[in-house]
Amino acid sequence: MESQFVCEFRPTVKMIASRIRKYNPARWIILLVVGIAFAAYVLPAAIWCRFNGIWALYGLMGILYPIYGIFMPEITAWFSIRRFLKDTNGEGVNRVAFGDQIEITQGKTRLTWEYSEINQVLHLRHSYDLMKNKRMGVTLDPNGFTKGTFDEFKQFLREKRPDLNIPE
């Protein structure tokens, strides 16, 4: 199968964090709200006790918990990339080839999709996702096309699937 377009890229923390914010908003928002509530509850008591004994630990947790809530998507993305690099022996390159079918290669994993399986195209801050269902999709880096350009690819996808809404 000769591919007309090839997208090869290394996932970045910003790319994965933006996916986490899009697909799992409740998890990090709840974590942030609980962290702020915990800080509001614990910090006044820790200050009143002048951070003596266990209140120093509670005070530190009251400060760090909301900070973790803010940066949870980035932290999770960083660990995800570390795990991905370990699984791919440091290579860490995603390759998506578009021809008669869509061929996705991530490390040792290789998948083949039909164009008819794509239900939605989403534009995230640093990438585009071709979604098969609510949770499964393939990420594309608009700057990662090694064969063809992203604008040519969007036109190609519009010809293959005229029913899809492809955001600019």
11-21 pLDDT, tens digit per residue, is: 999 999 998 88
Answer yes or no: is pLDDT of 63 > 90: no
User: Rounded to an integer, what distance in angstroms lies between the CA atom of residue 159 and that of residue 147?
Assistant: 18
The predicted structure's pLDDT at residue 14: 94
The per-residue DSSP string of 49-61 comes to: TTT-THHHHHHHH
Tokens of 110: 């290789």
pTM of the entire predicted model: 0.78
Answer yes or no: is pLDDT of 133 > 60: yes
User: Rounded to an integer, what distance in angstroms lies between the CA atom of residue 162 and that of residue 78?
Assistant: 36
The predicted structure's pLDDT at residue 51: 72
Edge-first strand order for the sheet with 120-123 is 120-123, 128-131, 137-140
> 52 vs 8, which has greater pLDDT?
8
The predicted structure's pLDDT at residue 1: 57
Mean pLDDT calculated for residue range 32-50: 84
Relative orientation angle of helices 54-87 and 13-23, to the nearest 10 degrees: 110
Mean pLDDT calculated for residue range 88-113: 87
Tokens of 59: 């005070």
